[in-house]
Amino acid sequence: MKKKLLSVLLSAAMISGIIAGCGNNATTPADTSTAQTDAAADDTQTPEPAADAAADDTSADAAADDTADAPAADEGKVLNIYCWNEEFKTRITDHYPDYTEVDATHGTIGDVSVVWNITPNDDNAYQNNLDATLLKQADAAADDKIDMFLIEADYALKYVDTDYTMPVADLGITDADLSKQYQYTKDVVTDSNGVLKGLSWQGCPGVMFYSRDVAKEVFGTDDPAEIQNYVKDWDTFNETAATLKDAGYSIMSSVNDSYRVYSNNVSSKWVTDGVINIDDNIMKWVDDSKELVDAGATGTHDLWSDDWSKGFYPEGKVFAYFGPAWLVNFSMAADTEGSIGYNGGWGATEGPQGFFWGGTWICAATGTDNAGLIKDIMLKMTTDDDIMTDIVVKDDDFVNNSTVMDALASGEKKVQREGETEEHEYTSKILGGQNPLQMYINGVAGLDLSNLSSYDQGCNEEFQHAMKNYFEGNATKEEALDLFYKSVVEKYPELTY
Amino acid sequence: MRRKSKAVRYNKWGYIFLLPFITVYVVFQLIPMFTTIYNSFFENYMSGLTQVGPNFVGLDNYKSLFVQGDIWVYTKNTLVLWILCFVPQIILSLLLGAWFSDTRLHLKGQRFFKTVIYLPNLIMASAFSMLFFTLFSDGGPINSLLMQIGFISEPYKFLSNAGSARGLIAFMNCLMWFGNTTILLMAGMMGIDTSLFEASEVDGATSTQVFFRITLPLLKPILIYVMITSLIGGLQLFDVPQILTNGTGDPMRSTMTLIMFLNKHLFSKNYGMAGALSVLLFIITAALSLVIFKVTGNDKRKG
């Protein structure tokens, strides 16, 4: 009998092990029941594996579904926000009046509890997660539905051009409310029928940041207005590249630096009627870049690679980077001793063409039960002058409010940061005391983003990857273009070329 | 009634103890395999947030795979990478295995070296690739070193030349797997009857002769096993080139393996095309497994 008890125990342990292993698969319950009848000789043991399995199932479910963890006791008052980093959460925590932080992923606004679902962007994980949840949106319980989610410009239309995103007009936000916002921020999230479906609190107009020391050495001046003459259009820019090359400097770290400047100024979309289309300005980037690379005037590094970042320091021998305020403020090693930014060694000038880089848009998900709250958050964060001025002063963001930005640019509105004794004009230490805001504003005013398509993210990525082969001499232009078409069709099987 | 059956009814425990394996096998291997084959006959992908299909398209997915013709390029890449990795690996492993198992040499610190050569295999492939990516980047330490000793004057773009990129991938794989192969071969060598070695010694055979006339022929079954498992592993090569080239298979997809190509279809959740590709891979792998069955089967008959 002892032997029998032992073997029953052993097999019970084993079966519960299996069931714990494969969670909620449909085949396992059948297996359990047959195994249980087999092992039923000693009936005191049998309920255990089943109970085990049940317990494991629920815990596995709960872990897999992060959205479901809000307490039900809150009368269905849950605001689920999907995003990929802490940025928006920090802005809400610091600037939204009624928000109280509970812990890293939870907060409250009045009696509504806010649940942050943060999935990092790497490997498309954020979009994959958001897609899966949005597709289940219609069947989800009211408290589990996504209420608000954030998107980036490169893939904005993928979401905006569907019914999963709510028109902001339906929330009760009028055009008059949005009159101070920059037009390009609205273009990005306007769907193919001309309906506005998202809002942003920030603008990310880009300029050209150049090293003042190199400018003095090569051109004899570091005055932004004079430097602008050397880079005022692409032809002049390329001539300047040759001058800099002779002096031992690269005009920019990599050809990919200027990609956005060209690609934001296109006159046609990446895809028209299901056919892939390459805009003339993008082909101009290819030709200009090939010449620069062949002349040895710049490199072919990927953005964010170590080689690309070398130019943040004087030893990198890079003249300029293209980027918005956040690049120079937060991403160019400005707080590392010895870097150009640390010594206030960058200058800002408009460069050949206006462009933008980055930015986050807030969308309301269809089916939300918190429309009123979302409207309030959108209005406060993206249109309220006081809150937005506060964001500029505290976080160095460029906000999406022309009144606020114009006042700061002209010096009409003074700022006083923590630890400073008196108010002063907005200036940037990293830029050697320059006030770059007017340049950002000029850059953003001329932007026309009516030519976005929902395939932009894949097309931009694959185009740069494919062209790298051409620049480095591993393929002819035609071969590289073929590779580009092939890669895009792999990503979007419905397209042709 | 119970008394009667007690004596003979032990075999049911056999089935119960088999259950874990069978369940795991059916759930994680058999069912996915059949659904993969089933899926390969459908057009089924996501376009943004819109689901396209599933529409039955027969053999269209297979057809377009062959019409594009790229699959042969990727098969060739995969095999080239495997050969580049396997040849040095087997030579190195045979040499080390022979030294370690040679009783006359009686190497000291064997245990230490056996551990050390196995260590690279314990590092995650992704970490290993990241390390090499940094080491061999255009401005990385290897380039600085080569420039400092005056070997080259301009940085050499290791990852932008087909030869060096493939070489690096093969080298990393070789480094990761030669320890494993050495241990397998050593086990085979130690299984050889020592009286054979003694007899040859008495007959005055040189160590080269011993290696080629005795060790190698008797090691054949293990060698074949190592070769086939390595080939199957090689066909599924993914992590190292994926991370080293950031998924692009640059330059010009010369380092794009079959599984990396499969992975490309995941962006649009293209189950149809990915399924068809998987089925092709399955057929190749199955054919190779049949070969190993045949060869080892023959060997048993002789023995």
Cβ–Cβ gap A124/B52 under 8 Å: no
- How many angstroms separate the CA of residue A121 from the nearest CA in chain B? 14
pLDDT of residue B171: 94
- How many angstroms separate the CA of residue B174 from the nearest CA in chain A? 26
> Residue A35 is nearest to which of B19, B46, B137, comparing CB atoms?
B19
Cβ–Cβ gap A487/B264 under 8 Å: yes
Q: What crossing angle do the helices spanning A87-95 and A371-383 adopt, rounded to 10°? A: 90
pLDDT of residue B142: 92
Contact list, A131 vs chain B (CB under 8 Å): 46, 49
Whether B127 and chain A come into contact, CB under 8 Å, resolves to no
Whole-prediction pTM = 0.81
Q: What is the mean pLDDT of residues A64-80?
A: 49
φ/ψ of A33, rounded to 5, equals -65, -40
- How many angstroms separate the CA of residue A346 from the nearest CA in chain B? 23
Band of pLDDT at residue A50, cut at 50, 70 and 90: very low
Q: Is the peptide bond before B54 cis (omega within 30 degrees of 0)?
A: yes
Whether A423 and chain B come into contact, CB under 8 Å, resolves to no
Band of pLDDT at residue B7, cut at 50, 70 and 90: low
Chain A's closest residue to B3, CA to CA, is A1
Residue that is written with structure tokens 């070329």 in the block: A497
pLDDT in tens, A261-314: 999 888 899 998 889 999 999 999 999 999 999 998 998 888 888 889 999 999
> Residue A490 is nearest to which of B27, B161, B265, comparing CB atoms?
B265
In angstroms, rounded to a whole number, what is the distance separating the alpha carbons of residues A110 and A132? Answer: 30
Band of pLDDT at residue A236, cut at 50, 70 and 90: very high
Q: Is it the case that residue A57 has pLDDT exceeding 80?
A: no
> Residue B134 is nearest to which of A15, A306, A491, comparing CB atoms?
A306
- B-contacting residues of A 336-395, CB under 8 Å? none
Cβ–Cβ gap B19/A31 under 8 Å: yes
Cβ–Cβ gap B17/A11 under 8 Å: yes
Q: Is it the case that residue A42 has pLDDT exceeding 50?
A: no
pLDDT of residue B132: 92
Question: Token pair for residue A4?
Answer: 């029998």
Whether B17 and chain A come into contact, CB under 8 Å, resolves to yes
pLDDT of residue A14: 64
- B-contacting residues of A 133-192, CB under 8 Å? 134-135, 158-159, 161-162, 164
> Residue A307 is nearest to which of B24, B137, B246, comparing CB atoms?
B137
- If one compares B257 and B106, the residue with the highest pLDDT of the two is B257
Cβ–Cβ gap A35/B16 under 8 Å: yes
- If one compares B289 and A144, the residue with the highest pLDDT of the two is A144
Cβ–Cβ gap A306/B140 under 8 Å: yes
Cβ–Cβ gap A158/B49 under 8 Å: yes
Give the number of A-B residue pairs with CB atoms closer than 8 Å: 105
Cβ–Cβ gap A493/B270 under 8 Å: yes
pLDDT of residue A61: 41
Instruction: Report the percent of chain A where pLDDT is more than 90.
Output: 29
From residue A267, alpha-carbon distances to A195, A278, A366, A449 in Å are 21, 10, 32, 9
- B-contacting residues of A 264-323, CB under 8 Å? 299-302, 305-307, 310
- A-contacting residues of B 53-112, CB under 8 Å? 68, 70
pLDDT of residue A247: 92
Q: Is it the case that residue A71 has pLDDT exceeding 50?
A: no
- If one compares A449 and B5, the residue with the highest pLDDT of the two is A449
Torsion of CA A259, A261, A264, A268, to 10 degrees: -70
- At CB < 8 A and 24+ separation, what contacts does B121-128 make? B121/B176, B121/B177, B121/B179, B121/B180, B123/B176, B125/B176, B125/B239, B125/B240, B125/B243, B126/B239, B126/B243, B128/B172, B128/B176, B128/B240
pLDDT of residue A87: 85
- Check residue B27 and report its DSSP letter: I
Whether B265 and chain A come into contact, CB under 8 Å, resolves to yes
pLDDT in tens, B225-264: 888 889 888 988 999 999 998 888 878 889 999 999 999 8
Helix, strand, or coil (residue B107): coil
Cβ–Cβ gap B49/A310 under 8 Å: no
Q: Is it the case that residue A429 has pLDDT exceeding 70?
A: yes
Cβ–Cβ gap A14/B265 under 8 Å: no
Q: What is the mean pLDDT of residues B186-200?
A: 89
Q: Is it the case that residue A22 has pLDDT exceeding 80?
A: no
Q: Is it the case that residue A20 has pLDDT exceeding 70?
A: no
Band of pLDDT at residue A481, cut at 50, 70 and 90: very high
In this predicted structure, which of A198-207, A447-456, A463-472 has the lowest mean pLDDT?
A: A447-456
Q: What is the mean pLDDT of residues A12-30?
A: 50
pLDDT of residue A38: 40
pLDDT of residue A26: 38
Cβ–Cβ gap A158/B27 under 8 Å: no
Can you name the CATH fold of B68-302? Answer: MetI-like fold (1.10.3720)
Q: Is it the case that residue B87 has pLDDT exceeding 60?
A: yes
Helix, strand, or coil (residue B103): coil
pLDDT of residue A68: 36
Contact list, A306 vs chain B (CB under 8 Å): 134, 137, 139-140
pLDDT of residue B296: 65
pLDDT in tens, B289-298: 787 777 766 5
Domains and CATH numbers, chain A: 2-54 (no CATH), 75-203+361-373 (3.40.190.10), 206-355+451-491 (3.40.190.10)
> Residue B137 is nearest to which of A300, A305, A490, comparing CB atoms?
A305
Contact list, B246 vs chain A (CB under 8 Å): 302
> Residue B47 is nearest to which of A159, A483, A492, comparing CB atoms?
A492
Chain B's closest residue to A486, CA to CA, is B68
Band of pLDDT at residue A47, cut at 50, 70 and 90: very low
Contact list, A486 vs chain B (CB under 8 Å): 68, 70
Instruction: Report the percent of chain A where pLDDT is more than 70.
Output: 85
Give the mean pLDDT of chain A: 82
> Residue A474 is nearest to which of B19, B52, B251, comparing CB atoms?
B251
pLDDT of residue B3: 52
Cβ–Cβ gap B138/A307 under 8 Å: yes
pLDDT in tens, A331-357: 888 888 889 988 889 999 988 988 888
In angstroms, rounded to a whole number, what is the distance separating the alpha carbons of residues B123 and A347? Answer: 45
Cβ–Cβ gap A164/B49 under 8 Å: yes
Q: What is the mean pLDDT of residues A144-152?
A: 91
Q: Is it the case that residue B133 has pLDDT exceeding 80?
A: yes
Contact list, B47 vs chain A (CB under 8 Å): 492-494
Cβ–Cβ gap B52/A465 under 8 Å: no
pLDDT of residue A18: 54
Nearest to B214 by CA among B201, B191, B195, B197: B197
SS (H, E, C) chain A: CHHHHHHHHHHHHHHHHHHHHCCCCCHHHHHHHHHHHHCCCCCCCCHHHHHHHHHHHHHHHHHHCHHHHCCHHHCCCEEEEEECCCHHHHHHHHHCCCEEEEECCEEEECCEEEEEEECCCHHHHHHHHHHHHHHCHHHCCCCCCCCEEEECHHHHHHHHCCCCECCHHHHCCCHHHHCCCCHHHHHHCECCCCCECEECCECCEEEEEEEHHHHHHHHCCCCHHHHHHHCCCHHHHHHHHHHHHHCCCEEECECHHHHHHHHCCCCCCCEECCEECCCHHHHHHHHHHHHHHHCCCCECCCCCCHHHHHHHCHHHCEEEEEEEHHHHHHHCCCCCCCCCCCCCCEEEECCCCCEECCCCEEEEECCCCCHHHHHHHHHHHHHCHHHHHHHHHHHCCCECCHHHHHHHHHCCCCECCCCCCCCECCCECCCCCECCHHHHHHHHHCCCCCCCCCCHHHHHHHHHHHHHHHHCCCCCHHHHHHHHHHHHHHHCCCCEC
φ/ψ of A129, rounded to 5, equals -65, -45
Q: Is it the case that residue A25 has pLDDT exceeding 60?
A: no
